[in-house]
Amino acid sequence: MRYGLISDIHGNLEALETVLAGLNNLQVDAILCLGDVVGYGPDPDECVKLVQAHTTVCLMGNHDDAILGDTDLSFFSYVAREAIEWTSEHLNPDSKRFLLQLPYTYELDNYLFVHASPHEPHEWNYITSWEGAEQSFQAFHQQACFVGHSHSPLVVGRNEHGAMQLHQSYPISFENNHRYLINIGSVGQPRDSNPAAAFGILDTAKQEYTLMRAMYNVVKTQKKIREAGLPGFLADRLAEGR
Interaction site with Zn ion (CB under 5 A) = 8, 36
Residues with Cβ within 8 Å of 158's Cβ and at least 6 positions away in sequence, in order, are 133, 134, 137, 164, 178, 179, 180, 181
The distance of closest approach from Cβ of residue 148 to Zn ion in the complex, given in angstroms and rounded to an integer, is 6
The distance of closest approach from Cβ of residue 118 to Zn ion in the complex, given in angstroms and rounded to an integer, is 17
User: Which CB atom, from 36 or from 192, has the smaller least distance to Zn ion?
Assistant: 36
User: Which CB atom, from 22 or from 35, has the smaller least distance to Zn ion?
Assistant: 35
Can you give the length of the chain in residues? 242
User: Which CB atom, from 147 or from 218, has the smaller least distance to Zn ion?
Assistant: 147
The distance of closest approach from Cβ of residue 189 to Zn ion in the complex, given in angstroms and rounded to an integer, is 7
Hey, how many other C-beta atoms are within 10 angstroms of the C-beta on 110?
13
The distance of closest approach from Cβ of residue 135 to Zn ion in the complex, given in angstroms and rounded to an integer, is 20
Using DSSP's 3-state secondary structure scheme, residue 163 falls into: coil
User: Which CB atom, from 124 or from 174, has the smaller least distance to Zn ion?
Assistant: 124
Q: Identify which of 143, 133, 137, 146 has the alpha carbon closest to the alpha carbon of residue 183.
A: 146
The distance of closest approach from Cβ of residue 25 to Zn ion in the complex, given in angstroms and rounded to an integer, is 25
- Classify the C-alpha dihedral 131-187-103-71 as positive or negative: positive
User: Which CB atom, from 36 or from 43, has the smaller least distance to Zn ion?
Assistant: 36
The distance of closest approach from Cβ of residue 7 to Zn ion in the complex, given in angstroms and rounded to an integer, is 7
Dist CA 129 CA 69 (whole Å) = 31
Cβ-contact 2, 201 below 8 angstroms: yes
Hey, how many other C-beta atoms are within 10 angstroms of the C-beta on 92?
12
User: Which CB atom, from 14 or from 36, has the smaller least distance to Zn ion?
Assistant: 36
